[in-house]
């Protein structure tokens, strides 16, 4: 599993989950706290879901104590990974279906077959929806058990 400097899961070379397939990057607030993955196409929309001052004022007021992370950030990251994996499965299925109907121009048949094979191999490498949700459920259960142990 690859991680960025902050220890967050960083997916492979596929594009943004908004569907644009543009390269994505992390959007962080003025304190460096991860907010969302964005690309040039969806950044404004995703920023609009937050108060604008969190991106400019590192001392913005908060209701909760953001220094005391009780696992919510880990849970949010896990849920985002799950959503991205499921989205990737959907995109690969769409790509595979589209490629089956595509007719290569003369001389490009082998290149098209190579692309089809690459998409099939990618699809095999991604866990099934059941495996993804089962893994997420197991991690959440473990997080709750660890939190209960910490309280004892």
pLDDT in tens, 6-15: 444 444 455 7
**Run of H or E including 37:** strand 34-38
Per-residue pLDDT band for 144 (boundaries 50, 70, 90) equals confident
pLDDT (mean) for 73-92: 81
Q: What is the pLDDT of residues 109-129, one digit of tens each?
A: 999 899 989 888 888 888 888
The burial class, CB within 10 Å (0-12 / 13-18 / 19+), for 32 is: exposed
Instruction: Please indicate whether residue 141 or residue 1 has the higher confidence score (pLDDT).
Output: 141
Q: What is the pTM of this model?
A: 0.45
The burial class, CB within 10 Å (0-12 / 13-18 / 19+), for 43 is: middle
Q: Does the structure show a pLDDT above 80 at 103?
A: yes
> Which residues, 6 or more positions from 91, have their beta carbon under 8 angstroms from its beta carbon?
14, 21
Residues pairing with 20 in the sheet:
none
Residues pairing with 3 in the sheet:
9
Q: What is the pLDDT of residues 30-76, one digit of tens each?
A: 988 888 888 999 999 999 999 999 999 888 887 766 554 555 667 77
- Residue position matching structure tokens 């989950």: 17
């Amino acid at each position: 599993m690859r991680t960025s400097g902050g220890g967050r899961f960083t997916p492979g070379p596929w594009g943004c989950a908004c569907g644009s397939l543009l390269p994505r990057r992390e959007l962080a607030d003025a304190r460096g706290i991860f907010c969302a993955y964005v690309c040039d196409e969806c950044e404004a929309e995703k920023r609009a879901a937050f108060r604008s001052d969190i991106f400019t004022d590192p001392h913005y007021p908060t209701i909760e104590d953001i220094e005391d992370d009780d696992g919510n950030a880990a849970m949010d990251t896990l849920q985002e990974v799950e959503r991205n994996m499921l989205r990737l499965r959907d995109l690969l299925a769409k790509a595979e279906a589209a490629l089956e109907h595509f007719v290569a121009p003369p001389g490009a048949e082998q290149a098209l077959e190579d692309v089809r094979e690459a998409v099939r191999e990618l699809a095999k490498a991604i866990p099934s929806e059941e495996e993804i949700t089962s893994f997420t459920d197991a991690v959440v259960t473990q997080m709750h058990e660890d939190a209960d142990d910490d309280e004892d």
